[in-house]
Amino acid sequence: MTLKANWNYPTAVRFGPGRISELAQACRAAGIASPLFVTDSGLSGLPMIKDAMARLIADGLKVTLFDRVQANPVAANVEDGLKVLRDSGSDGVIAFGGGSALDCGKVVAFMAGQSRPMWDFEDIGDWWTRADPAGIAPIIAVPTTAGTGSEVGRAGVITDETTQTKKVIFHPKMMPQIVICDPELTVGLPAKVTVGAGMDALAHCLEAYCAPGFHPLADGIAVEGIRLCKVFLPRAVADGTDIEARAQMMAAAAMGATAFQKGLGAIHALSHPIGSVHHTHHGMTNAVFMPYVLNFNRAAIEEKIARLAAYIGLEPSFEAFYDWIVTLRRELGVPETLTSFGVTGLDYGRLAKMAIVDPTAGGNPLPLTEAAAEALFREATG
């Protein structure tokens, strides 16, 4: 292992109950006077959105709502949002919601002043240098789930409908200038959504920790994020009004996305094709694949997992950690297989080809070959 690496860490985060009241002040601090408020249609009619927008207007900001964001956002969502941003004269973006709204809002802000097509900025090599940094509008991020951690990320995942593939659009300046993490915004989440989001945060921390490379800062954040998931995810699911559990899971989500700049792996590489082709919930899909990928990678990660197990209060062994994952999934109602998840009619060959070229595949501790990916898809089918 080389002891040479580049490390980057997140932005200003205003964390805690009631911090949503600071949204207008955060906009002004970021130089935003006319925000485009990006969310999804499922949230836009809820009191939290109406209240937030009313406060912004009362504080003298000119607010334009864009809520045409679907789960697993597609290029058309970004294009529609970009048109509204330009037509309204908005000078910044408030990305408000779950991972889909955050990703779409960030990419809309990124594309605000670009002249090249969005796919020219896919996270491949140094393609991000093609962008005009001055053309990126400032972003305020407000997560309403505790899973993706997109609020502290420098990228957005957008589906290319023409190929049914998820692509990562990346630029360092896509990082939100200010994040408001208010756990009170997550109190109304249904238990099933809490499970999917929480398992996504756990997957981010776990894959970041297991990814090869020298990044002890990410490793430390990842293992504490896993401990928080172990302690607080069951509590958040059991009682959605448990504000401490909600807050700790919101912290774990941000920690997962902070850590995974070290890398992700086969959980995500397998999950992304299933999500884009079969339209499944991303976090829950990660949860389905988690034990299968753990077993696949065992030879490369056994010692690390034993250390992790000890830190989170388990017997220091791979078996103890694996058993905890399986038990946690069962207790939270995570489907054990893709079939029990309702995913049928899989084209294994196509999915395997998509998985091995996914941007996350390269971070897996063991090489994810086409044959290995197909075998994992078949095993996870049940």
Within a domain: residue 252?
Answer: yes
pLDDT 10s digits, 74-117: 999 999 999 999 999 999 999 999 999 999 999 999 999 999 99
Using one digit for the tens of pLDDT, what is the confidence trace for 59-79? 999 999 999 999 889 999 999
Are residue 225 and residue 344 in the same domain, yes or no?
Answer: yes
From 152, 185, 218, give the residue that closes a domain.
185
Asked if residue 4 is part of any domain, the answer here is no
Nearest C-alpha neighbor of 200 from the set 272, 132, 128: 272
**Beta strands in the chain, from DSSP E residues, in sequence order:** 12-15, 35-38, 64-66, 92-97, 139-143, 155-160, 165-170, 178-181
* Residue 247 token pair: 């807050």
Radius of gyration (C-alpha) of the chain in whole angstroms? 20
Q: Are residues 81 and 219 in the same domain?
A: no
Give which of 150, 152, 291, 307 is closest to 223, Cα–Cα: 307
- In this predicted structure, the answer to whether residue 1 has a pLDDT above a threshold of 70 is no
Q: What is the pLDDT of residue 2?
A: 65
92 and 175, same domain (yes or no): yes
Do 173 and 248 reside in the same domain of the chain?
no
**% of the chain residues with pLDDT over 70:** 99
Identify whether residues 102 and 50 lie together within a single domain.
Answer: yes
Domain around 291? 191-381
Per residue in 205-224, pLDDT tens? 999 999 999 999 999 999 99
Does 2 fall in a domain? no
149/198 same-domain check: no
Residue ending a domain, choose from 166, 185, 204: 185
In a domain, 314, yes or no: yes
At 368, give phi and psi (nearest 5°): -95, 90
CATH of the domain at 43: 3.40.50.1970
Output the pTM of the full model.
0.94
Domain boundary among 185, 209, 226: 185
pLDDT at 118 over 80: yes
Residues 6+ apart with CB under 8 A from 42: none
Say yes or no: 273 and 146 in one domain.
no
- Provide the number of structural domains found in the chain: 2
Q: Say yes or no: 30 and 141 in one domain.
A: yes
User: Is the domain of 203 the same as that of 65?
Assistant: no
Structural domain includes residue 50? yes
Does residue 259 lie within any of the structural domains?
A: yes
pLDDT 10s digits, 248-267? 999 999 999 999 999 999 99
212 and 292 co-located in one domain: yes
30 confidence band (pLDDT: 50, 70, 90): very high
Kindly state whether residue 40 falls inside one of the protein's structural domains. yes
Does the pLDDT of residue 8 top 90, yes or no?
A: no
Do 202 and 325 lie in one domain? The reply is yes
Question: Is residue 176 domain-shared with residue 234, that is, in the same domain?
Answer: no
In a domain, 343, yes or no: yes
Q: What CATH number corresponds to the domain at position 272?
A: 1.20.1090.10
